[in-house]
Structure 1
Amino acid sequence: MANYHLLGLGLAGLIAASGMTCLTSSRELAAAQLADGTIAFEYPPRLSEATATRNQAGARHVRYYFTLNLNPSAGESLRWVSLQLAEGRDPMFRFDAEATQAFEGTRRERNSRLTLGEVTQDRDTQTVTVVFDPPVPPGRQVTIALEPHRNPRRGGVYLFGVIAAPDGEQVRQEFAGYGRLHFYDHDSDPIR
Structure 2
Amino acid sequence: MSHLITKIPWTTGKKIGLVTSTLALSLLIPNLSTTVNAFEVGENETVFLAAPRLTRAATTNLSPNGPSIYHFTIEVPENADEALQAITVSQRDNPVYINFALDKSNAFMGDSFAGGPNLALADIGGDLSVNPNDITVVFDEPVQPGETVTVRLRAKRNPARGGIYLFGVTAFPEGENSSGLYIGSKSLQFYSY
| TM-score, with structure 2 as normaliser | 0.76
Amino acid at match of 1:43: A
- What are the equivalent positions in structure 2 for 1:1-192 lying under 5 Å apart? 29-35=36-42, 37-60=44-67, 62-91=68-97, 93-120=98-125, 122=128, 124-186=131-193
Structure 2 vs 1, CA of residues 129 and 70 (structure 1 numbering), >3 Å: closer, same or farther? same
Question: TM-score of the superposition, structure 1-length normalised?
Answer: 0.76
Distance 1:43 1:152 in 2: 35
Q: CA RMSD in A?
A: 2.1
Q: CA deviation at 1:88?
A: 1.2
Q: 1:159 to 1:75 in 2, by over 3 A?
A: same
Higher-Rg member (1/2): 2
AA matched with 1:154: R
Letter in 2 for 1:178: S
Change (3 A) 1:27 1:38: farther
1:83–1:162 contact (8 Å) kept in structure 2: yes
Q: Distance in 2 between matches of 1:30 and 1:143?
A: 23
Compare relative contact order (CA 8 Å, sep 6+) and give the higher one, 1 or 2.
Answer: 1
Unmatched segments (≥5 aa) in structure 1: 1-24, 187-192
Flag the structure with higher helix content.
Answer: 2
Contact 2:36 2:79 in 1 (8 A): no
One-letter amino acid of the structure 2 residue matched with residue 75 of structure 1:
D
Count of residue pairs brought into register by the alignment: 161
Q: How far, CA to CA, are the matches of 1:27 and 1:185 in structure 2? A: 45
**Structure 1 residue matching 2:92: 3-state secondary structure:** strand
Using the TM superposition, give the Cα deviation of residue 139 of structure 1 relative to its aligned residue in structure 2, in angstroms: 0.7
